[in-house]
Structure 1
């Protein structure tokens, strides 16, 4: 009986895998390419926030970086500019990518820049909202010690909410050519949202700080920070788009996602330790 049950379980697994493959290869937008772009987006966004925003800022400020992971940067001393650096880089990078997407000649490049820009803008605005409401995260650390902390948190929450809605509206408008039918939105926005969240949490599972950091940072930042992608379709213009764009199959994107994703999980996600100078 145990052998029969094991065979049934294996058959169910392969049956589910076959269904997933068929869904990914259905005509229309290439789901495999979109998922691949989501993985690459997580890698780039994480490196922008932790590596460039926090890490490079700490180095420029004369701080000593001890460890870099996909979810946190550990340095010797506290610095408010370092705390702010990650969000600022996300917002600047997001604005540049979303602006550049309008001028991209290749459809796949245009979509990738749109998604990369959208994720960075939503995470940037979401960080203000998250820190203001819950009192956690980089901006909560930045205002720690300020007099009258409560008004600062309220202001951050309102500012984050206002920017977040504005960015959701902006990304909905710029996505319009990829959504000639409302059903397409599930593929070009909700699918990469879920893929990005899953990969980010997978990377977070390798973090040396353990499950607590995943609960306090990884899950809120991914599922919450990018959640605007779940409902932005309500803000897409109702008129038919002047041009209809389709994300095409691209084995190059699949390969890049596999190589870059595996390298990211094996290095940054597990933590890169830096040797401290001898004193």
Structure 2
């Protein structure tokens, strides 16, 4: 699942997306293997996965345990917020493997979700909660798993939530201004993920994700969409990139 060449243009990113869609479709329709308690999140062992699936996606160098608080909150208070019976699935597929790019991580997430949904036919709604880089993985996976009728992985699209996700990259919006001469170092430190985050190349993936209907239309299908950002103090993903705004409303810095 390599990245397009710098001079390939948007069409190669979209071609890659379509390839990932085919792979996810195969996972959704493959013969199901018998499920076991180990297939279920620890909070649901001993019961069947049904109702509203909430997929949690960790960030750079993260683990599936990073969003444990969110998991506990959804399980304890989800019904009070109108979610009905919730099944929480903390993605594990990108643990220890977050430097090979947004497309690669998002594709892995889409296959993981497709296989889980296929094994648990009692699910009817899907929501995503992505933290930091996990929010970008979730956006890519939603595009892979979407269908023209607005469903995602064959399920009704519920909520799409990101927390401190670098939606518009880090080339301008990070702890300090990074001269363009230093941008190539992003690959040396973070691999293809660094290339994506610093918008390297002629048609950076994050630019395509922010402008192409292939990525925007699936988001419109979710009933609720929220992007949460820290107003200040986030050295890695400042407000502008996480909230799609140059400055907070009312700050006098534009928006």
Common fold by TM > 0.5:
no
Q: Quick check: which one's strand share is greater?
A: 2
- The TM-score normalised by the length of structure 1 is 0.30
Larger Rg: 1
Name which structure has the greater RCO, CA cutoff 8 Å, separation 6+.
Answer: 1
